[in-house]
Structure 1
């Protein structure tokens, strides 16, 4: 069997890789996942893509402004991580397919576009708006824990789109999905918000600058409300 051809450096350089999430708040689990994806794909940067008000979940606890500020603080000292705030700037509900289509227009038809998502979100993919169009616009890379069983959509065409090696996503602009095992860090944004409500510290669970911001803005307390 012939070895795969080496990756074209210009193609890798043109790739856009994004990790979507509510980041309410951003924590070390998110940051570690994004960094490990950047290393596995050998790309210069992964952008964190904070969601607007999600269609499938209850309203977010922190405002768009606060979540963006925390993200910017979290990545300030890491050159391989950035922030793409387009969903926060779009009025009304936001859908991933709309975001990916806007990114595709910017990147052009040949650049690899890779959307990172967790295994739990992947298991609910068929509930997403126009989910069948996702791989017609981008690749999906599922971030999973070691030994975790993935639950992809049962559509035969989707199942046939899986690639065993995440790096192979960079050989094409879109059309496939793969999985990447990442270091499991048992940190949950839901748990962090609960800790805040109970007056507990988030030190060493979130970046120091993020924890300082949460305290200064009195976020996630029992009386705090999201205001945009």
Structure 2
């Protein structure tokens, strides 16, 4: 059985994340999908988190409720406060991984910045790299990184957590952009309002 590792801020998890997770399980039959919410972001990538770790995990649990062969790992969230490097995450997950190389699933934007990841060559030695394509990108300038596209066209290409947070800050609806259970959670906990 193959293990697929799919990490991200999931701040919040949205319909595109859910679609990618389902497609990974469908296309890589007999797989386990491990969702890995980001811990303290690497300062080199100028990213910050809006929701708490507990809220992001709760939203992932709601979004993937009832989907077999999906786990949520808190390996990055349990790490002492320091930048979250994926090479350390791999080491922390090692006892839970099946035999053979796991698949690391990235967005195409992450693939393009992959050579900037801490000890990226060590990661490449330990995983099969797959990516979710973005319109207009198609790996330009990064052909030295061996990676396969999960599919050809991403129907959620323009959807992002940033877009959802912006809509919520403006008091706009996110119906259809996030699972209904996640929308209810966000409203009930007052997340992303007035940030």
TM-score, with normalisation over the residues of structure 1? 0.76
C-alpha spacing 1:36/1:121, structure 2 compared with 1 (3 Å): same
Task: Provide the alpha-carbon RMSD of the alignment.
Answer: 2.0
Change (3 A) 1:104 1:187: same
- Structure-2 residue corresponding to 1:58: 47
Taking structure 1 as reference, are residues 103 and 217 closer, same or farther at Cα in structure 2, changes over 3 Å only? same
Change over 3 Å in CA distance of 1:178–1:152 after alignment to 2: farther
Say whether the 8 Å CA contact 1:45–1:81 is kept in structure 2.
Answer: yes
| CA separation of 1:151 and 1:43: change in aligned 2, threshold 3 A | farther
TM-score (structure 2 length as normaliser): 0.88
- State the SS of the aligned residue for 2:150: strand
Q: After TM superposition, give the deviation of residue 43 of structure 1 in Å.
A: 2.7
Q: Structure 1 stretches of 5 or more lacking a match?
A: 1-12, 163-176, 224-228
Which deviations, in whole Å up to 9, do the C-alpha atoms of 1:59-106 show, x marking residues without a partner? 201111110111111111222433122111112221111111222344
Structure showing greater radius of gyration is 1
- Compute the displacement of 1:146 (Å): 6.5
Partner of 1:37: 24
* 1: CA distance, partners of 2:101 / 2:87: 16
Which has the higher mean CA deviation after the structures are superposed, 30-39 or 96-105? 96-105
Deviation of 1:42 (Å): 1.1
Per the TM alignment, residue 45 of structure 1 is displaced from its structure 2 partner at its CA by 2.8
Alignment of 1:180 with 2:150, yes or no, is yes
Matched position secondary structure for 2:185: helix
